[in-house]
């Protein structure tokens, strides 16, 4: 398996624009997680899905953030409108049911100017 | 809430030295995970521990699940330049699969 695949690797956008980050989890994994990493706050869980259903979105900073998982092999994290403080590295991770070991993608480095 | 205290925050060592870092919690964990993150990459799972007292090795890395289930340590023997990175401990919350993360230990190897 190729592992968790994220795109794009880098994204630079202007404040106010919509940003969409994409993730393909490892085939067969039931859980998908979206994390944000910054120097100040470290790794923060934004939202996670189980069998394509959002379970806990309490980490989503505000209504500008939304995430979907239309099928078992694809998820998106959308920020609309984007703000400079959203600049961070966003990671997607997946894991097997009943197994806490999460496998991470390479991340998307987002810069909002 | 549950928190993981990871120490030290950073380490400056000479190549060939052994390294030790640890994580402690005020709550019991059933699983301890150790990850390594290199610049520009996502965290990579190094070792997973599932039983109190368990000692597991992965090459030059050794990790132990504390008997009290509230701590874990990671040792790296005979460090080499490619060991540079940030090491994180993590454990799942009781109620769900949400991982709680330590703040990381940054390992720097002096040339």
Q: What is the pLDDT of residues A55-113, one digit of tens each?
A: 989 999 889 999 999 999 999 999 999 999 999 999 999 998 656 789 999 999 999 99
> Is B7:B19 a contact under the CB 8 Å cutoff?
no
Task: State the pLDDT at residue B94.
Answer: 67
Mean pLDDT of the region A34-54: 93
Percentage of residues of chain B with pLDDT beyond 70: 95
Residue A46 predicted with pLDDT over 90: yes
* B45 with A101: Cβ contact below 8 A: yes
Residue A44 predicted with pLDDT over 60: yes
DSSP B51-106: STT-EEEETTEEEEE-TTSSEEEEEE-S--GGG-EEEEEEEE-SSSSPEEE---EE
Mean pLDDT of the region B48-52: 93
Which DSSP helix (H) or strand (E) runs through B35?
strand B32-37
Q: What is the pLDDT of residues B58-97, one digit of tens each?
A: 999 999 999 999 999 999 999 999 999 999 999 887 666 6
Task: State the pLDDT at residue A40.
Answer: 87
Flag whether residue A65 sits within 8 Å of chain B, measured between CB atoms. no
Task: State the pLDDT at residue B92.
Answer: 84
Instruction: Cite the beta strand spans of chain A per DSSP E.
Output: 5-7, 10-13, 19-24, 31-38, 42-50, 53-56, 65-71, 74-79, 88-95, 103-104, 108-112
- By residue count, chain B amounts to 111
Task: State the pLDDT at residue A100.
Answer: 75
Rounded to a whole number of angstroms, the CA Rg of chain A reads: 13
Rounded to a whole number of angstroms, the CA Rg of chain B reads: 13
- By residue count, chain A amounts to 113
Task: State the pLDDT at residue B111.
Answer: 77
* B33 with A55: Cβ contact below 8 A: no
Residue B9 predicted with pLDDT over 90: yes
* A56 with B98: Cβ contact below 8 A: yes
Question: Looking at CA atoms only, how far is residue A100 from chain B in angstroms?
Answer: 6
Task: State the pLDDT at residue A101.
Answer: 86
Q: Which residue of B88, B96, B104 is in closest CB contact with A56?
A: B96
Task: State the pLDDT at residue B102.
Answer: 93
Mean pLDDT rounded to a whole number for chain B: 92
* B99 with A91: Cβ contact below 8 A: no
**Collapsing DSSP states into helix, strand and coil, what is residue A86?**
helix
């Amino acid at each position: 398996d190729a592992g968790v695949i994220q795109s794009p690797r880098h994204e630079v956008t202007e404040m106010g624009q919509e940003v969409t980050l994409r993730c393909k989890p490892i085939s067969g994994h039931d859980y998908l997680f979206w994390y944000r990493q910054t120097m100040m706050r470290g790794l923060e869980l934004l939202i996670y899905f189980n069998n394509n259903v959002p379970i806990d979105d309490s980490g989503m900073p505000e209504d500008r953030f939304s995430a979907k998982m239309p099928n078992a092999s694809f998820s998106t994290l959308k920020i609309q409108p984007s703000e400079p403080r959203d600049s961070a590295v966003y990671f997607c991770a997946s894991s097997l049911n009943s197994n806490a070991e999460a496998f991470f993608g390479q991340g998307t480095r987002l810069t909002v100017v | 809430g549950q928190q993981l205290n990871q120490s030290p925050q950073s380490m400056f060592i000479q190549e060939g030295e052994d390294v030790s870092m640890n994580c402690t919690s005020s709550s019991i964990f059933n699983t301890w995970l150790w990850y390594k993150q290199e610049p520009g990459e996502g965290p990579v799972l190094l070792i997973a521990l599932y039983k109190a007292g368990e000692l597991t090795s992965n090459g030059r890395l050794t990790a132990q699940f504390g008997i009290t289930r509230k701590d874990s340590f990671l040792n790296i023997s005979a460090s080499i330049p490619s060991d540079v990175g940030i090491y994180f401990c993590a454990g799942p919350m009781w109620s769900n699969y949400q991982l709680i993360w330590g703040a990381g230990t940054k390992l720097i190897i002096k040339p």
